[in-house]
Amino acid sequence: MMAKDIGVPRENIVNFELNFCDTNPAALTGMHEEFICSPRLDNLASSLASLDALIAHAKVAPEERNHSEIDMIMLFDHEEVGS
């Protein structure tokens, strides 16, 4: 069936990989809805974007910040974080 679907002879398919994905929608979470939770966000891209934002925000003088929360990111030791 797969060979027919992609238009190649069955013997030409040597191997394939099957991936499943979470179909739950993304959501805002946290006390102030400051976190985005989504199973489809790429860890590597979001890790870099988070680190860039943290570095940029660290350059803002404390008296110019409009909040009192702690600025941080959490990067877990997952296969894509260290790529």
Can you say whether the dihedral through the CA atoms of 25, 36, 76, 17 is positive or negative?
Answer: positive
Give the span between the Cα atoms of 81 and 83, in whole angstroms: 6
pLDDT > 90? residue 65: no
Question: Does the pLDDT at position 5 exceed 60?
Answer: yes
Q: Cα-Cα-Cα-Cα dihedral of 42, 44, 47, 51, to 10°? A: -140
What residue ranges do the domains of the chain occupy?
2-64
The model carries a pTM of 0.43
Q: What is the mean pLDDT of the chain?
A: 81
Reading the block at residue 41, the tokens are 């966000």
Report which of residues 76 and 30 the model is more confident about. 30
The string of pLDDT tens digits covering residues 12-25 is 999 988 777 778 88
